[in-house]
Amino acid sequence: MTRTYVFTAALIATLTGAAFAQDTVATLRSGVPLDQHPAPPQVATVKNTDLRQVRNYPEQPPLIPHKIDGYQIDTNANKCLQCHSRTAIEISQAPMVSITHFMNRNNQFLASVTPRRYFCTQCHVPQSDAPELVENTFVDIDKVLEYVAGTKAEDH
């Protein structure tokens, strides 16, 4: 008898647990039932300031400070290189693609951008005013160093 009670209690606990879990787990649909359409969020505006942004760490690929709507980057043409290629920057006054982009995997410099660095938007992205989907706890290394220097000063 008691075993039956325990079993039923466990079953109820499991089922309600599952039901609660359904309410609390974050999903891309943000809890809207499958048979309904959630209202889509407003399309974010791309920042078009033309001002170079600070890199969060030295290895970060520089961000694109302008709109790139409809830019064609494929086997036929690369719209980015129309301004950022070695020969175009005198006219465009845009930053030239980094010299590292001319190196193949054996560190040999080629005459033009290597195929492995050709697809700009694999690393370089424009920014928009969209709200963050999850909280970002990233801290700049300078902030960390400042903190370390501060604590050391307190020690002495």
Q: Interface residues with another protein (CB under 8 A)?
A: 48-50, 66-67, 69-70, 72, 74-79, 82, 91-93
Smaller CB separation from another protein, 67 or 117: 67
Residue 79 to residue 87: CA distance in whole angstroms:
14
Nearer to another protein, 2 or 49 (CB): 49
Closest CB 124 distance from another protein, rounded Å = 16
Q: Work out how close the CB of 26 gets to another protein at its nearest, in angstroms, rounded to a whole number.
A: 32
Q: Which amino acid is at 136?
A: N
| Burial class, 97, CB count within 10 angstroms (exposed 0-12 / middle 13-18 / buried 19+) | buried
CB 131 to another protein: min, Å? 22
Closest approach, Cβ 28 to another protein, in A, equals 24
Choice between 27 and 87, CB closer to another protein: 87
Shortest distance (Å) from residue 101 CB to another protein: 17
Look at residues 108, 2, 65 and name the one whose alpha carbon lies nearest to residue 116. 108
The answer to whether the CB of 128 falls within 8 A of the CB of 44 is yes
- Nearest partner of 122 among 130, 133, 114, judged by Cα: 114
* Of 50 and 154, CB closest to another protein: 50
Distance CA 126, CA 51 (A): 12
Q: Is 141 helix (H, G, I), strand (E, B) or coil?
A: helix
Nearest to another protein of 47, 103 (CB atom): 47
